[in-house]
Amino acid sequence: MSLLTTIDADLKSAMLAHQQELVDLLRLLKAALKNEMISLLKQDLTDEEVLKVLRREAKKREDSIAIFTTGNRSDLAQKEQKELILIQKYLPAALDEESVRKIITVVIAEMGSSPSQFGLVMKAVMAKTGGAADGALVSRLVKEMLK
């Protein structure tokens, strides 16, 4: 079952169970997915494209949580946190720092350890992780390991 089908099924069951918060979030996700379909001029999205949209939406929630927390708006931060948790249910488990380090070590061994190859190493690492690693974490570790 594709992620798009899973989201549709979850939306239907949430509507039947009268879970309004979940219905609102899933409708928002479906709208974001529809916008992605329109921008890519496609009828259907692959699971990778759906994951890309879900990660983007999760990142928006993380940014909002940080802003609301610094602005002493814990009520809005809690709402965003709930939405983030629900979105993360559709995302695969992220790689931990140690796993990312191992992948970076392998890539650097293959490509060389010149700081000028930062972009190439980043591209190769992100391809090997399949997007399961946080880009900021990968960037920080690659910079650290290329020094």
pLDDT tens profile 52-68: 999 999 999 999 999 99
Q: How many CB atoms lie under 10 A from the CB of residue 50?
A: 21
Q: 65: Cβ–Cβ under 8 A, 6 or more apart, which residues?
A: 77, 80, 81, 84
Give 72's pLDDT tier (boundaries 50, 70, 90): very high
Quick check: pTM over 0.75?
yes
pLDDT in the model for residue 24: 96
Structural domains of the chain ordered from first start: 3-88 (1.10.1510.10), 97-146 (1.10.10.410)
pLDDT tens profile 5-28: 999 999 999 999 999 999 999 999
Alpha helices in 42-147 (DSSP H): 47-70, 74-88, 97-111, 118-129, 135-146
pLDDT tens profile 80-105: 999 999 999 999 888 888 988 999 99
pLDDT tens profile 112-135: 778 888 888 888 888 888 778 888
Q: 49: Cβ–Cβ under 8 A, 6 or more apart, which residues?
A: 36, 40, 42
Q: What is the DSSP letter of 92?
A: P
